[in-house]
């Protein structure tokens, strides 16, 4: 899939930068702790747009703050 580029999740770095705990996000974004762990580690295969919307709403950020597209090398 590298021929198409890939996405990099920046959620963990964003949360550290803004001093936001995982417990806060779990409670307020209504996500499971293990699900949040997977997002923080970038260990997911398919992004859930509803989860991203809840996270962005709670963090008051845009999706570009927590997700970056890395284009393929040519």
The rounded distance, in Å, linking the Cα atoms of 72 and 74 is: 6
Q: What is the mean pLDDT of the chain?
A: 94
The model scores a pTM over 0.75:
yes
pLDDT tens for 15-43 read: 999 999 999 999 999 999 999 999 999 99
DSSP class of residue 3?
Answer: G
Contacts 24+ apart (CB under 8 A), 2-8: 2/72, 2/73, 3/72, 4/72, 5/69, 5/70, 5/71, 5/72, 6/69, 6/70, 7/47, 7/67, 7/68, 7/69, 7/70, 8/42, 8/67, 8/68, 8/69, 8/70
């Amino acid at each position: 899939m590298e021929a198409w580029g890939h996405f990099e999740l920046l959620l963990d770095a964003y949360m550290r930068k803004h001093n936001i705990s995982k417990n806060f996000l779990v409670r307020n974004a209504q996500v499971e702790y293990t699900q949040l762990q997977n997002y923080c580690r970038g260990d997911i295969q398919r992004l859930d747009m509803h989860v991203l919307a809840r996270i962005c709403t709670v963090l008051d950020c845009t999706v570009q703050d927590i997700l970056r597209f890395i284009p393929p090398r040519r």
